[in-house]
Amino acid sequence: MTSNNDTGAPTMLSIIVPFLNEAQEMPKLCSHLQVLKDKGCEIILIDGGSEDDSLAITKQHGFPVLRAAAGRANQMNAGAATATGDTLLFLHADTRLPDSADTDIIEALQSGQYLWGRFDIHIDGKHPLLNVIAWFINQRSRMTSIATGDQGIFVKRALFQQVGGFPEQDLMEDIALTARLKKWGQPHCITTKISTSGRRWETQGVVATVLLMWRLRLAYWLGAPPETLKKQYTQVNRVK
């Protein structure tokens, strides 16, 4: 197996990060990813056609960038296609991994009991309800074995390929993928928390955002087309 981690060692973990117009997040993200790269992880960044300084900032930090059509599913599939790691981790640009993430993931999967998993989540922000929302997200994920992208989904590369990767849809691609993965086994839930930005909730309103996501997920499970849900999501929430 070849390696893109500059250490000369085989790559165990490939971290795949799609982004689009994330100039505000890129300096912090690149610093975060450099630590993981230094630990031997392969870093794959995929730009969906940014019109701000995201691409320039990323290149200033020395990370090569792939280009793909906008859309997280499309971008993450493009990144996965180039990955060399045995395990793939899909990370949002506004999400930060715990310091032990690489070893936590490798240890979680090395026994063969689990083929995929996710982290418990912490939501960064000042609103007191964000901790409550994070608790409910973690509990819901435990009960349903379904994970969202904010939770840092990781999966053995062979299984990801076997299930066909992320469905090419405009929204709920993370839910659709994990529904496929759970047919092959339950996820490993890492209790060390991943941190994600609370900007979506705080900008659009905590209660309003929760109600919106509940409504969209219910509509999705009832069969509403993802492209229709994406239009509704974009009209209400233009931050992410």
Residue 100 tokens read as: 């032990």
* Edge-first strand listing for the sheet containing 95-96: 65-67, 42-47, 13-19, 87-90, 153-156, 116-124, 188-197, 95-96
Total domains in the fold of the chain? 1
Given this model, what pLDDT does residue 6 score? 56
**229: in domain:** no
**8: in domain:** no
pLDDT digits (tens, 9 = 90+) for 88-112: 999 999 999 999 999 999 999 998 8
Given this model, what pLDDT does residue 146 score? 94
Which CATH number belongs to the domain containing residue 18 in this structure?
3.90.550.10
- Rg of the chain on CA atoms, in Å: 17
Residue of 46 and 212 predicted with greater confidence: 46
pLDDT digits (tens, 9 = 90+) for 138-197: 999 999 999 999 999 999 999 999 999 999 888 889 999 999 999 999 999 999 999 999
In the chain, what are the helix, strand and coil shares in percent, each to the nearest 5?
Answer: 45, 20, 35
**Torsion angles phi and psi, residue 54, rounded to 5:** -55, -50
Contacts of 18 (CB under 8 A, 6+ apart): 46, 48, 68, 72, 75, 76, 79, 92, 93
What is the C-alpha separation between 56 and 71, in angstroms, rounded? 20
**Torsion angles phi and psi, residue 172, rounded to 5:** 65, 20
**3: in domain:** no
pLDDT range class, residue 11, cuts 50, 70, 90? low
**235: in domain:** no
Residue 13: its H or E element: strand 13-19
Given this model, what pLDDT does residue 3 score? 42
Q: Which residues pair with 121 in a beta bridge?
A: 194
Q: What's the chain's average pLDDT? A: 89
Contacts of 92 (CB under 8 A, 6+ apart): 17, 18, 149, 150, 196
How large is the average pLDDT for residues 114-126? 96
Furthest-apart CA atoms within the chain: distance in Å = 49
Angle at which helices 206-221 and 129-144 cross, to 10°: 20
107 Cα distance to chain centroid? 20
Residue of 101 and 228 predicted with greater confidence: 101
**219: in domain:** no
CB 7 within 8 A of CB 85: no
**107: in domain:** yes
**2: in domain:** no
Structural domain for 65, as ranges: 13-200
What is the C-alpha separation between 1 and 117, in angstroms, rounded? 23
pLDDT range class, residue 50, cuts 50, 70, 90? very high
**153: in domain:** yes
Given this model, what pLDDT does residue 227 score? 75
